[in-house]
Amino acid sequence: MSRTFRVVQWSTGHVGKHAIAGIDARPDLELVGVWVSNPDKVGKDAGELAGLGRTLGVTATNDAAELLALQPDCIVHTAWADTRLFEALADLAQFLRAGINVVSTSPVFLQYPHGDAATMAGDVIAAAHEGGASIFVNGVDPGFGNDALPLVVSGISERIEEVRCVELLNYATYDQADVLKDIMGFGTPLDETPFLLNPGVLTLAWGSIVHQLAAGLDVELDGTEEWYERCPAPEDFDIPTGTIPKGTQAGLHFEVRGMKDGKAVFVLEHVTRLRDDLAPEWPQPAGQGCYRVIITGEPIYTVDLQLLGTDGDHNTAGLKASAMRIINAIPDVVAAAPGLVTALDLPMITGRGLVRTD
């Protein structure tokens, strides 16, 4: 008989609500607790918070000690970390020191800490060893779209000159105003530098990707480089989170490049628009939006992973992909040796148990 893993969901936001649905979908996972930061959600059923249209018999709480006392096999951590980085790291360390395994979508540099990011990850890694627990941080980007997917494609190459991982998405329906404006700079003047484009921030967030790809293909990089360009709104237009004024940022195109012998060998590229007609000269997505892997060498491969939720929105699919990448990894993370584990350490993560014929 297969084992059932007792799981606590930590947050019920844009990714967290999909994580609850994902936990409920797996026959080998049992949801035993839910943590929320919003006092208005305390006492509500997890099924209601996830929008499932039915109850799950688990009510939300903001009492962290109560949930840690349950000693679950794993905490699914999807809480906001972009503007509360050190608080999030402290939370993760607390879980791990309590001997509880963790799968998380953030902070993203924990996908494969390197350089300054490795220093920042030190307490989390130490806590994991102290508590005898494991932690896996992943998602779809950073995550599956630029670790497992390109590494699998590399396995049918004869020669590799460049590995390029591209996110091509319209973010108009991404319902997170703080991310769009304050972090990415959408709707702000082009003579202002948003947080994401300050020197070193792109590398902190996505540099782990190029270093992990390099490690997976036995390449020692000489360093990384950042590059970006921005596109203005041609006129005022509205998106669900507000108005994008004419002349402000409406498109963002950036790269983090892993360099070897003066060449970009591993490239993380993002092409983000708020309207499909903006910057037509930039790379275009397949379908409504996609994650693209291009391996240049012998032969040349291009793989497009198109996204589409059953609600018709590609951004819903992206959120679900982030949640399910870590949910489906829980059995392997629980079985892993204590410490921080990466996509290079775990066996292939599959949707075992998720096939339905009814």
Terminal alpha carbon distance of the chain: 23
Q: What is the mean pLDDT of the chain?
A: 96
- Which segments of 52-158 are extended strands (E)? 60-61, 74-77, 101-104, 134-137
Q: What is the model's pLDDT at position 168?
A: 97
Tens of pLDDT, residues 252-286: 999 999 999 999 999 999 999 999 999 999 999 99
Q: What is the mean pLDDT of residues 139-152?
A: 96
User: Is the per-residue pLDDT at 198 higher than 90?
Assistant: yes
Burial label, 133 (beta-carbon count in 10 A; 0-12, 13-18, 19+): buried
Stated pTM of the model = 0.94
User: Is the per-residue pLDDT at 210 higher than 50?
Assistant: yes
pLDDT category, 179, cuts 50, 70, 90? confident
Tens of pLDDT, residues 17-29: 999 999 999 999 9
Tens of pLDDT, residues 79-110: 988 788 899 999 999 999 999 999 999 999 99
Q: What is the model's pLDDT at position 116?
A: 82
User: Is the per-residue pLDDT at 2 higher than 90?
Assistant: no
What residue ranges do the domains of the chain occupy? Answer: 5-138+329-341, 144-312
Q: Domain 5-138+329-341: give its CATH superfamily.
A: NAD(P)-binding Rossmann-like Domain (3.40.50.720)
Q: Distance (Å, rounded) from C-alpha 332 to C-alpha 326?
A: 10
